Structure 1
Amino acid sequence: MASNSPSSNRLRVGYAFPPNKERNVIRPSLIDYAKFHGVDLVRIDLQTPLLHQGPFHCIIHKLYDDAWAENLQDFASKNPDVVVVDRPDLISKLYNRVSMLDVVSQVKVSDSGVRIEVPKQILVKKEEEAIDSIMNLELKFPVIAKPMESDGSAKSHEMSLVFNRRGLKELNTPVLLQEFVNHGGVMFKIYVAGDQSVCVKRKSLPDVEGTEEELEKKTEGAMKFSQISRAEEKSEKCNGEAKKEEKEIEMPPEKIVREVSRGLKEAMGIRLFNFDMIRDGNGTYYVIDINYLPGFAVLPEYEPFLTKFFKEVTEKKVDEVASAIEDDKAKPRCCSCFQRT
């Protein structure tokens, strides 16, 4: 069995991803940048028990099956000095869109004039329940229809913008219905890695005009879309130069980005994620989705962003272990340890 007590000054970060997800995070540019800065990224062999691999300072992962979770838990219990980012039981709470946004209520911002909310939403289990559910929650058309699961699969991205009751009949149930908030056709995607957060601006669905009566007359009941924002669309940093067609949409203040990011991180107990946020015409922010370990490679300068994170979490772990050792040394010993006079 390989030793998991690395003595080198270099950091070894093991990673475990499905092939399609690996391409969105572990790119050659990241491997090269991290290596130059003392961090070696090592692909974990999913056919071999983790206990037979290593050594590692840190492990990052995005796998969903129970076998991997058991493998990782067994490894972590025998190697408490290794940083695991993040615990599978905490990540799994983001797999369900019905409950993933519950943590937003725990987020507090220092500016009392800023509101952070979630859209109204309801789970519809059967098609015939849809209209009653919308009426009971006072949802108004249009609504966004989202699959319950948010596990990174192609199916989890199959969403629709529903304009009227006819559109509800086109949906497969169970389905989550979430109110659509006009937000100027722009979404803010905030990427979080530990204490770091960076905001990028993306094109989103355009505002929907018209009364409910007018929408009910639309012949097209629903419009399908694979994702609200496309990964290939050009990102823009919060403090970057705005594109001409988007200058009228102001970026969220960096203070708000930091505080919401920190609040979500603390509420969820996870360190690598992103969340989608929009702002309505009254200045209210809505968190509409949270994703674990997204495709960080779409970020400008993502290589130093993640490399810094790897270093910070491992250095923090080393400090915690050293502190625990010092505390243990300071503890008083039992009376039998002292010689009687």
Structure 2
Amino acid sequence: MGAVKALLFDSSVLITEDGDGTVSFQSGAEALLWRLAYSKLNLGVSYGESVSAQKVSFLNKIALLLSLKCFMHKKCSIDASVNDISQAWGKTGESCLYVASSKDDELYRSLSNNGWFIVLKSAESADDVVESEKENLRLLYIGKLEELPFIICRLNRKGRGDGILSVGYVMKPSREKDFAKRGAFPMYPTQNGLIFVPLALDFPLAFQMQEVDAVIHKATDEIASVELSTSSEHSIKVTFSNGMKELERYFQGHPGCCIIDPLNNIYPVLDRLRIQQILLRLEDLNMVGCSRIRGPHFLKIDDFKDPNLAKRLSEAKLSLPCIVKPQVACGVADAHSMGIVFQAEDFKDLQVPLPAVAQEYVDHSSLLFKFYVLGDRTFHAVKKSTPNADFFLSSCMEDGLKPIIFDSLKSLPTAKDQQLGGQVESKVDNLDLELVTEAANWLRQLLDLTIFGFDVVIQEGSRDHVIVDVNYLPSFKEVPDDIAVPAFWEAIKTSCKSRSANRE
């Protein structure tokens, strides 16, 4: 038996028709189809002669959208229909699944004789099926469509033997779709032996986790609240969604499960103050006569009306303008609400959540270098960034140098082409890639993270390389997919092996 390469759905599993003729997806069907489609599996849907014209029209639209094939089977020529389907997907040594919601013994028998597996979506328990029937018809039972990826996972592991790792993943749907579109989450085994399966936090974990060797997560998508703590060990207290809490409890009860990455490891990147304190230690990497890499000067602010704030800014080597960010870096609605402040008196009415971190505004020729760490490999991309301070000063004179308030995810004020000075290539050449790569490896070991990103700007004049932001499991979409996705897979597999070895 080979890996599962094709799935054929009976139309009754995917769609339903109301009394007024309105056709819609069955629960869970739409999400399942695009997950399968992005896994590069062959997909099809079959329907009988009695299916309504409305359903056929709906199915044809699905077929066009997801590149799946439609087949009509006739009772009088079941074997011929099955032969047509098998020819369309004839892959030697690979398995095909037929998913249905009602029994059709003649069709089942014809498909199973051609090497197909039958998956029946039914409330009937597999325990109630006669064993010989299951063997003859190669029957598998599921109660919900959400179970199907785990059936595929199980068959793929049996088909490919030892060395296959199944990786469950948890993140918000929009992020999952972004990764899946780029081929990052295939259910068909990757070249380095990984299978990906979506975990549903509203579905019993015991069933799902028995098929999973490792879990990769974007736990920041599941944060319900973040509270700052006075504890020296943990600067923040994170409350996750109920589903993520359940997964966290599962991890605690099953220490053998590989987590990429342990939840405690991501806490530093949720706290901008903690990250700034970590970046202070970059000084250890610097050598005399070479470019320097460092974090920006910074100051924690608990009260914008502090009468000693100007003095404290000076003592922290902060001159104006400076950029002010909430201390909590993600997981709350206003974590990305920031301000650029030009005058000390404007702090008192600043609309940035407290506590906050005032950070050095580095003149950096309006260029930002985005670095992505995927295991032991590092990639980077160049992007437009905020203008130098003098551009802000000249443009804000008419407004009296009022603070610039923005959401860094939506409205980051970036430089215009004329503000780049026409010397982009020469400015890019200032990047000391070896130095930043060394810093990336240092951060990877210190934070013990598998996949993370950070932003670097190069200060005009001094050419200091300044790391201004660190984040967990970024999209790394600026890196070409044919390079980034295999590196992503290899980072996961290497991390699994490393963490398993450490547990032993």
Q: What is the TM-score when the length of structure 1 is the normalising length?
A: 0.78
Contact 2:450/2:492, CA 8 A, preserved across alignment = no
1:267 to 446, 461, 465: 446
Q: Secondary structure at the match of 2:184?
A: helix
Shift in CA distance, 262/68, structure 1 to aligned 2, threshold 3 Å: farther
Question: Amino acid of the residue matched to residue 202 of structure 1?
Answer: K
The worse-fitting range, judged by mean Cα deviation, of 278-287 and 201-210 is: 201-210
Q: Which amino acid aligns with 1:201?
A: V
Distance 1:132 1:310 in 2: 47
CA 1:215–1:266: 2 relative to 1, 3 Å = same
Cα deviation, 1:114-160, whole Å, max 9, x if unaligned, reads 32211111122222114343244342110001111111555222222
Question: Which of 217, 223, 235 is matched with 1:61 structurally?
Answer: 217
1:188 maps to what in 2?
369
CA contact (8 A) 1:93 1:100 kept: yes
In 1, are the aligned partners of 2:338 and 2:407 still within 8 Å (CA)? Answer: yes
Q: How many residues align?
A: 309
1:163-204 Cα shifts (integer Å, max 9, x gaps)? 223542233341221110101111111111211111111111
Note closer, same or farther for the CA distance 1:211–1:152 as it changes in structure 2 (3 Å cut). closer
1:314 and 2:314 aligned = no
| Aligned mate of 1:93, from 242, 252, 268 | 268
* Aligned 8 A contact 1:273 1:293 in 2: yes
- For residues 277-329 of structure 1, the C-alpha deviation after alignment (integer angstroms, 9 at most, x for no partner) is 111121211111110111223322222221221232234456667xx4xxxxx
Is residue 2:319 matched to residue 1:137?
no
Report the 3-state secondary structure (helix = DSSP H, G, I; strand = E; otherwise coil) of the residue aligned with 1:294: coil
Gaps of 5+ in 2: 1-149, 224-238, 415-421
SS of 2:463's equivalent? coil
User: Displacement of 1:10 after TM fit?
Assistant: 2.5
**Alpha carbons 2:179, 2:475 under 8 Å: kept:** yes
Q: Higher relative contact order by CA 8 Å / sep ≥ 6: 1 or 2?
A: 1
Q: 1:151 to 1:117 in 2, by over 3 A?
A: same
Code of the residue aligned with 2:406 in structure 1: it is F
Per the alignment, do residues 292 and 228 of structure 1 end up closer, same or farther by CA in structure 2, a change over 3 Å counting? Answer: same
Equivalence map 1:81-230=2 (5 Å): 81-107=256-282, 108-109=284-285, 111-112=287-288, 113-129=290-306, 130-168=309-347, 169-174=349-354, 175-209=356-390, 219-227=400-408
- Using the TM superposition, name which of 161-170 and 10-19 deviates more: 161-170
Corresponding residue for residue 334 of structure 1: none
**AA partner of residue 302 (structure 2):** K
CA drift at 1:70 = 4.6
The worse-fitting range, judged by mean Cα deviation, of 9-18 and 47-56 is 47-56
1:17 positional shift: 0.7
Q: What is the aligned partner in structure 2 of residue 50 from structure 1?
A: 205
Q: Which runs of 5+ in 1 are unaligned?
A: 234-243, 325-341
Q: Tell me which amino acid in the other structure corresponds to 1:60.
A: I
Over the matched positions of the two proteins, sequence identity in percent amounts to: 20
Instruction: Decide whether the 8 Å contact of 1:144 with 1:178 is kept in 2.
Output: yes
Task: Output aligned runs, 1:9-48, within 5 Å.
Answer: 9-32=163-186, 35-37=189-191, 38-48=193-203
